[in-house]
Structure 1
Amino acid sequence: MEEHTATLPLAYDLTWTVIAVLWLALVIATTVSVLRARHTPGAAKIAWILLVVALPILGSLAWFTLGSKPAERGGPAPS
């Protein structure tokens, strides 16, 4: 006779639920960060948000590594 584990489907569902919630939290956090960025113009914000929605992990990684920092100005470095 085969043994049936009733907790396996529950663990499977819980795992995918946690992954989905973390995925959604990443998209929301990145979208909020994009919208709050003062150095990014409106059209660029729309492009960033579309990228984050289309490719959540890559788009978020790109935003937090490339887009969230203001462009450096060509002035003298502070001493």
Structure 2
Amino acid sequence: MSLTVLAQDRPEDVVDRIAGFIFGVTGGIIGILYLLLFLFAVISILRSQRLTGGGKFLWIVVALAYPFLGSLGWFVFGKSAQLVKQGSYTG
């Protein structure tokens, strides 16, 4: 895009292009942060020593089904979840 093209455009067109660029960059940054939150949640779930295999599976299903709320829910509620490992059963 050259200055001559911008000079021929109406002011509204220039504003629309700038707004589109800003929204695109902002959306990209939010998307990257969203992906990082999801990845950190899955890694944290898998590394958790408190959960059984079934508990980890359930939290990963929740994080996949509801990526933002599930990931956020893990960090708010999941780290102290009640699906904890117990001592081995010696029956």
TM-score normalised by length of structure 2: 0.67
Give the match for residue 58 of structure 2. 47
Q: Which has a greater percent of helix?
A: 2
Q: Distance in 1 between matches of 2:20 and 2:72?
A: 32
Specify the code of the residue in structure 1 equivalent to 2:35: L
- Paired residue total: 72
Q: How far 1:70 moved relative to its partner?
A: 6.2
Q: Point out where structure 1 has 5 or more consecutive residues left out of the alignment.
A: 73-79
- The whole-number CA distance in structure 2 between the counterparts of 1:65 and 1:17 is 25
Moved more, 39-48 or 22-31: 39-48
Match of 1:66 among 74, 77, 81: 77
TM-score (norm: length of structure 1): 0.76
Quick one: structure 1 residues 70 and 58, their matched pair in 2 at CA, closer, same or farther if it must change by over 3 Å? closer
Separation in 1, partners of 2:20, 2:53? 45
What percentage of residue pairs aligned between the two structures are identical?
29
Bigger mean CA deviation after superposition, 24-33 or 56-65: 56-65
